[in-house]
Amino acid sequence: MAADVALSVPAAEEAPFGDVRSAARPAKPWRPPTDETPVVRRTLIGIALVFLGFVLFLPLVAVFVEALRGGVALYWAAITEPDALAAVQLTLLVAVIAVPVNLVFGVAAAWAIAKYEFRGKSLLTTLIDLPFSVSPVISGLVFVLLFGAQGFFGPWLQSTGVQIIFAVPGLVLATLFVTFPFVARELIPLMQEQGTGDEEAALSLGASGWQAFRLVTLPNVKWALLYGVLLCNARAMGEFGAVSVVSGHIRGLTNTMPLHVEILYNEYAFSAAFAVASLLALLSLVTLAAKSILEWRYAQDIAATRGRGH
Amino acid sequence: MVAAALSGPFRKPSILPGFGLTLGLTLAWLGTIVLIPLAALVLKSAGLGWEAFGTLVTDPRTISALKLSFGAALVAATINLVFGLLLAWVLVRYRFPGRRLIDAFIDLPFALPTAVAGIALTALYAPNGWIGQFLAPLGIKVAYTPLGVVVALVFVSLPFIVRTVEPVLAEIDREVEEAAASLGANRRQTVFGVVLPTLMPALLTGYALALARAVGEYGSVIFIAGNIPYVSEIAPLLIVIRLEEFNYAGATAVAAVMLAISFVMLLVINLIQAWSRRRFGDGR
């Protein structure tokens, strides 16, 4: 009702009041001196969005458009073809082995580094991060030098009949190498910040070391742990360079999904290559979504633990 | 050094159990998966002897590949220094619709497999591609040239600078800027004289991380580069080519040089961080 009344006031009556008010007001609204002018702000946002559009958004769109260019039937045929299915299976197998192994290692490393003070700790932390700064191709090459036919253990492996390079064990080793730091580096800063007080309290109340870890430490770091596993998994499934060197590209046997994409692309089967690539792109979108949700949750969690006096 | 950490007196006493177990597991696993394989590379290249190593490394094709990898990585990291800072600034300081979505989207190059990025960028920048068809009449060729390498490296190294600058920018006390303004500095002077110097360690760390990633990048580059020897052939690809020729010595030599470069970068990153801790207290 009030709104109706306000609207029904004739414009002629309102005008004098409006004039008085605008005369009393400063010509421009007050702007804090630590803000940019609206023009500058809009320009900066505009440039940032255009840059992101070209660099990040267009490539992602291109994957899906190119994948569906040949029609849905062709798309479906490309991803259900036996070689493609074998590639999906192998990718899942490698991730299923590599992720849990690095999860156990990451938790152990974080426990040792975050809960104790010892000499050489910063060196150890640097060494754990090492795989991040090594080229993926080198990560594959080192295993060829160790286990390849001309490698250090090559002759011995041949005599025992075990094949590592150009076989699944090589793929797993290379993936373990490149995904090595993910879980540890998410856990270490958080566990360092949380300190050892909670665990010491648990021990003094009679808990065993394992109980303290399982019932006190683990709930404190669960989101960071999940976050690390997520990133580790994305990298394990998407790794290309390291895996490419050790794989030997045997179709249906040692081709993971990224390698399958490469083979199809080099055979000019572009639609099929983009179809398999679109599955990987979907995986990365799911990873990003899950990661963002975790980050929002995890931020609240950290705020909560800080609020409890950490 | 690592063995020294194992012996008892080095650690502060603690009532928490599991030190020996977890540190032992960590060292054993680190040794098996990372250190022994890398040592194999160092051993293998040392086994070549200085003379043979020198000949392999100074091979003109190797030199031009290393130059391209390093040069393109420098250009890409520098482009991202400017745009990464801009993105971090826009995402931290301004509020606009879709900001959180865009912030999450920045990590796409981390999550998207490099091979997928590679073929997507090629689809965009090939002469008959989405963007390439508009550039071709202007005489600009992106795909299958060194410019294409730069485009791919800009894509993969974009998140590093944004993600290292964002948290530092968010923590900067606005009072410092208010003080600058109240002392008569205009906005430009405040930003370039007060805010940017504080961001310097984060910018440098991000720059070094982006550079390290870009120098070693393989998957996204090989599709768009065209891989013409002496023109658009990157060093990691040369390693793969040498391996396919069963020229293990050649592959090892290039890899040893690249490994040395990444060790230097790691050292530089650590030095920057130590310097920034001394200079600015507990910075990241």
Residues A194-221 have pLDDT tens digits of 888 899 999 899 888 889 999 999 998 8
Cα distance between residue A288 and residue A267, in whole Å? 31
Chain B contacts of A269, Cβ < 8 Å?
none
Residues A255-291 have pLDDT tens digits of 899 999 999 999 998 899 999 999 999 999 999 999 8
Cα distance between residue B117 and residue B152, in whole Å? 8
Output the six-digit token pair for B202. Answer: 């984060």
User: What's the pLDDT score for residue A61?
Assistant: 94
CB-closest option in A105, A134, A277 to B29 = A105
Best of A37, A69, A107, A134 to disrupt the B interface (most B CBs within 10 Å) is: A134
User: What's the pLDDT score for residue A182?
Assistant: 92
Report residue A5's pLDDT band, with 50, 70 and 90 as the boundaries. very low
| A268: contact with B, CB 8 A cutoff | no
Chain B contacts of A37, Cβ < 8 Å?
187
Q: What is the mean pLDDT of residues B77-82?
A: 95
Residues B235-244 have pLDDT tens digits of 999 999 998 8
Q: List A residues 103-142 in contact with B (Cβ-Cβ < 8 A).
A: 104-105, 108-109, 111-113, 115-121, 123-124, 126-138, 141-142
Q: What is the mean pLDDT of residues A167-172?
A: 92
Residue A146 clears pLDDT 70, i.e. is over it:
yes
Report residue A111's pLDDT band, with 50, 70 and 90 as the boundaries. very high
User: What's the pLDDT score for residue A7?
Assistant: 45
Question: Among A100, A102, A128, A99, which Cα is nearest to A114's?
Answer: A128
Question: Among A136, A135, A131, A156, which Cα is nearest to A146's?
Answer: A156
Q: What is the rounded average pLDDT for all residues in chain A? A: 84
Ordered DSSP codes for A119-169: TTHHHHHHHHHHHHHS-HHHHHHHHHHHHSTTSSSHHHHHHHT---TTSHH
Going by C-beta distance under 8 Å and a sequence separation of 6 or more, which residues neighbour residue B13? none
Cβ-count burial A186-201 (b if 16+ within 10 Å, e if not) = bbbebbeebebebbbe
What crossing angle do the helices spanning A121-133 and B196-216 adopt, rounded to 10°? Answer: 60
Count of Cβ atoms closer than 10 Å to residue B96 Cβ: 13
Going by C-beta distance under 8 Å and a sequence separation of 6 or more, which residues neighbour residue A156? none
Residue B11 clears pLDDT 80, i.e. is over it:
no
Chain B contacts of A207, Cβ < 8 Å?
none
Run of H or E including A201 = helix A197-204
Cα distance between residue A70 and residue B126, in whole Å? 19
Phi, then psi, of B11 in degrees rounded to 5:
-110, 150
Looking at chain B, how many residues does it have?
284
Cα distance between residue A135 and residue B251, in whole Å? 13
Q: Do A124 and B21 touch (CB under 8 A)?
A: no
Contact predicate A107/A187, CB 8 Å:
yes
Residue B72 clears pLDDT 50, i.e. is over it:
yes
User: What's the pLDDT score for residue B70?
Assistant: 93
User: What's the pLDDT score for residue A306?
Assistant: 37
Q: Do B178 and A240 touch (CB under 8 A)?
A: no
Residues B159-202 have pLDDT tens digits of 999 999 998 998 888 888 888 888 988 888 888 888 898 898 89
User: What's the pLDDT score for residue B281?
Assistant: 62
Cα distance between residue A238 and residue A276, in whole Å? 12
Closest chain B CA to residue A128: B30
Ordered DSSP codes for B183-248: TT--HHHHIIIIIHHHHHHHHHHHHHHHHHHHHH--HHHHHHH---TTTS--HHHHHHHHHHTT-H
Tokens 């946002």 correspond to: A45
Q: Do A288 and B111 touch (CB under 8 A)?
A: yes
| DSSP, res A118 | B
Q: Do B4 and A238 touch (CB under 8 A)?
A: no
Tell me the β-bridge partners of A118.
B11
How buried is residue A68: exposed, middle or buried, by Cβ count under 10 Å (0-12/13-18/19+)? Answer: middle
Report residue B114's pLDDT band, with 50, 70 and 90 as the boundaries. very high
Alpha helices, DSSP H, located in chain B: 2-6, 19-30, 36-47, 50-57, 60-93, 99-105, 108-111, 114-125, 132-135, 146-171, 174-182, 187-190, 196-216, 219-225, 235-244, 248-280
Residue A305 clears pLDDT 60, i.e. is over it:
no
Tell me the β-bridge partners of B11.
A118
Residue A310 clears pLDDT 50, i.e. is over it:
no
Cα distance between residue B280 and residue B284, in whole Å? 10
Q: What is the rounded average pLDDT for all residues in chain B? A: 88
End-to-end CA distance of chain A: 53
User: What's the pLDDT score for residue B173?
Assistant: 83
Q: What is the mean pLDDT of residues A171-175?
A: 95
ipTM of the complex, rounded to two decimals: 0.86
Going by C-beta distance under 8 Å and a sequence separation of 6 or more, which residues neighbour residue A181? A128, A129, A130, A131, A132
Output the six-digit token pair for A85. Answer: 């299915």
Report residue A18's pLDDT band, with 50, 70 and 90 as the boundaries. very low
Its sign, for the CA torsion B220, B224, B226, B229, is negative
Q: Using only C-alpha atoms, what is the Rg of chain B?
A: 23
| DSSP, res B136 | G
User: What's the pLDDT score for residue A308?
Assistant: 33
- Report the CATH architecture of B46-280: Orthogonal Bundle (1.10)
Report residue A165's pLDDT band, with 50, 70 and 90 as the boundaries. confident
Question: Among A102, A233, A263, which Cα is nearest to B113's?
Answer: A233
Chain A contacts of B2, Cβ < 8 Å?
120, 123-124, 127
Within 13 Å, how many C-alpha atoms sit on residue A178's CB side?
A: 32
Q: Pick the residue with more confidence: B15 or B221? A: B221
Residues A24-71 have pLDDT tens digits of 555 667 777 777 888 889 999 999 999 999 999 999 999 999 999 888
Cα distance between residue A243 and residue A237, in whole Å? 10
Cα distance between residue B57 and residue B51, in whole Å? 10
